C-alpha cells in the first residue's frame, strides 16, 4: 500500500504586504504600462498647469503670420489668426481632461450606489433599478448624450447658468453610469452571501454600513479599472460634442480644432488636424494600456 503525498500549497499572498502593494508590484513589472503611466501623468500635469494659468495662458496671442508652417518656434504651425496651434493643443488638454474627470466622478457617484443597493437588497428595489438602467441602455448612447447636452445647454441649476463645458460633463455623467451600475450589482450579489457580510450582520451592523463600509471596498478594484477605461470614452465624447458645437465656447479644445481644420485640409494646411489627432491618440493609447495593466494587476484570479 503506497502513501499518497500532497504537494504543499504555496500562498500567493505575501506576508506583511497589502493586496494593493502586491498589485502595484505586479503593475510595475510591466515596463510598457509604466511608460504609459508617465505619459498620463504628463497629460495631467499639463492640464493642471493650464487650469492654474501658468501654461498656455497666452494662446490667443499672435506669434506669426497666418497659416505659418511648422517650425522650431511653432512646432505645429499657426492657424488663420497667426495663433500657435501647439499652444491651442496644450490648452485643449485642460478641456478634455476636466470634462472626462468630472463626468467620471458623476458616473461613479450614480452607478456605484445604485448598483450596490440593487445587488444587496434585491426584490422590488432591484427591479426598479434594473428597469431604469435597462431603459437607458436601450437608447443609443450618442443620441442620449446629445439630447442631454442640448437640454442642459444654457439651463440654470441652483442659480448657476450652465455653460457649454458644464453641460457636457453633466450630460456624459448622467447618461454613462449604466454599465458600471450593472457591473457593481453583479459583484455585490456575489459578495452579499460571503462570510464577512454574514459576520457583520451577526454583529448587528446596519445595512448602510455593510454596503458602504464592507462590500464596496471589496469591489474598488473594479471601479478603478472602469474609471481608467471610461475616461478615454469621455474624452472621445467631449471631442465629438465640441466638434458638433456643444462643447467649449471661446477657448480651444481638440474637438474645436478638428472642426476648424476641416476646411484647412483642402487647402493643404494639415498641422492643426495633426496636432489635435496626435494629442487624442497619445492619451487614448496611454490610458488603454494602463487600464489593461490595472485589470491584470488588480484581478485576484490572475497570478503570474
Please give the pLDDT value at position 101: 92
The helix (run of H) or strand (run of E) holding residue 160 is strand 160-161
**Residue 68 DSSP code:** P
pLDDT, residue 4, reads 42
Q: Cβ(37)–Cβ(54) under 8 Å?
A: no
40-75 burial code (b ≥16 CB/10 A, e <16)? beebeebbebbeeeebbeebeeebeeebbebeeebe
What pLDDT shows up at residue 147? Answer: 82
Spatial neighbors of 89 by CB under 8 A, at least 6 apart, are 76, 252, 254, 257, 275, 276, 278, 279
Residue 13 lies in a domain: no
Q: Which domain holds residue 176?
A: 22-298
Q: Is residue 83 part of a domain?
A: yes
- pLDDT tens by residue, 233-268: 899 988 888 888 777 777 888 988 898 888 888 888
Decide if 10 is inside a domain: no
DSSP letter (8 states) at residue 213:
I
C-alpha cell at 120: 444587496
The pLDDT value given to residue 37 = 93
216 touches 248 (CB < 8 A): no
Number of domains in the chain: 1
Pick the closest to residue 40 from 238, 284, 233 (CA basis).
284
Helices (H), 13-157: 19-28, 31-52, 85-121, 123-137, 141-152
First to last CA, the chain: 38
The pLDDT value given to residue 185 = 93
Q: Does any domain span residue 11?
A: no
The CATH number of whichever domain residue 67 belongs to comes to: 1.10.3720.10
For 156, the enclosing helix (H) or strand (E) is strand 156-157
In this predicted structure, what is the pLDDT of residue 300?
58
The pLDDT score that the predictor gives to residue 294 is: 87
Residues 135-147 have pLDDT tens digits of: 888 888 778 888 8
Instruction: Please give the pLDDT value at position 16.
Output: 56
Q: Give residues with Cβ within 8 angstroms of 14, minimum separation 6.
A: 22
Is residue 2 assigned to a domain? no
Q: CA-to-CA distance for 19 and 17, rounded, in angstroms?
A: 7
- At 26 the pLDDT is 86
Residue 12 lies in a domain: no
Question: For residues 189 and 117, what is the distance between their CA atoms, to the nearest angstrom?
Answer: 10
User: Which residue ranges in the chain fall short of pLDDT 70?
Assistant: 1-17, 57, 154, 158-159, 161, 163-164, 300-304
This prediction has a pTM of: 0.82
Whether 15 is covered by a domain: the verdict is no
Q: What is the pLDDT of residue 296?
A: 84
- β-pair partners for 156: 161
Q: Is residue 247 in some structural domain?
A: yes
CB atoms under 10 Å from CB of 93, counted, come to: 26
Amino acid at each position: 500500500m503506497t502513501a499518497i503525498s500532497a504537494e504543499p500549497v504555496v500562498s500567493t499572498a505575501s506576508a506583511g504586504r497589502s493586496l494593493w502593494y502586491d498589485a502595484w508590484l505586479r503593475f510595475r513589472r510591466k515596463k510598457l504600462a509604466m511608460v504609459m503611466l508617465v505619459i498620463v501623468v504628463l497629460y495631467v500635469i499639463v492640464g493642471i498647469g493650464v487650469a492654474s494659468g501658468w501654461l498656455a495662458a497666452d494662446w490667443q496671442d499672435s506669434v506669426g503670420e497666418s497659416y505659418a508652417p511648422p517650425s522650431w518656434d511653432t512646432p505645429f504651425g499657426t492657424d488663420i489668426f497667426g495663433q500657435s496651434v501647439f499652444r491651442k493643443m496644450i490648452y485643449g488638454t485642460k478641456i478634455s481632461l476636466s470634462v472626462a474627470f468630472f463626468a467620471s466622478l458623476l458616473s461613479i457617484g450614480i452607478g456605484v450606489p445604485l448598483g450596490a443597493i440593487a445587488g444587496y437588497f434585491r426584490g422590488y428595489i432591484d427591479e426598479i433599478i434594473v428597469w431604469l438602467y435597462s431603459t437607458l441602455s436601450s437608447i443609443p448612447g450618442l443620441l442620449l448624450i446629445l439630447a442631454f447636452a442640448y437640454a442642459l445647454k444654457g439651463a440654470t441649476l441652483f442659480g448657476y447658468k450652465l455653460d457649454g463645458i458644464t453641460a457636457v460633463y453633466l450630460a456624459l455623467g448622467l447618461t454613462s453610469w449604466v454599465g458600471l451600475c450593472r457591473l457593481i450589482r453583479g459583484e455585490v450579489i456575489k459578495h452579499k452571501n460571503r462570510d464577512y457580510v454574514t459576520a457583520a450582520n451577526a454583529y448587528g451592523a446596519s445595512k448602510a454600513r455593510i454596503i458602504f463600509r464592507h462590500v464596496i471596498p471589496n469591489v474598488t478594484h473594479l471601479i478603478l479599472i472602469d474609471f481608467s477605461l471610461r475616461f478615454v470614452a469621455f474624452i472621445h465624447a467631449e471631442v465629438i460634442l465640441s466638434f458638433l458645437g456643444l462643447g467649449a465656447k471661446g477657448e480651444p479644445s481638440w474637438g474645436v480644432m478638428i472642426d476648424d481644420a476641416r476646411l484647412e485640409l483642402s487647402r493643404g494646411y494639415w498641422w492643426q488636424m495633426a496636432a489635435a489627432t496626435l494629442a487624442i491618440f497619445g492619451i487614448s493609447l496611454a490610458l488603454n494600456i494602463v487600464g489593461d495593466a490595472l485589470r491584470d494587476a488588480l484581478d485576484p484570479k490572475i497570478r503570474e
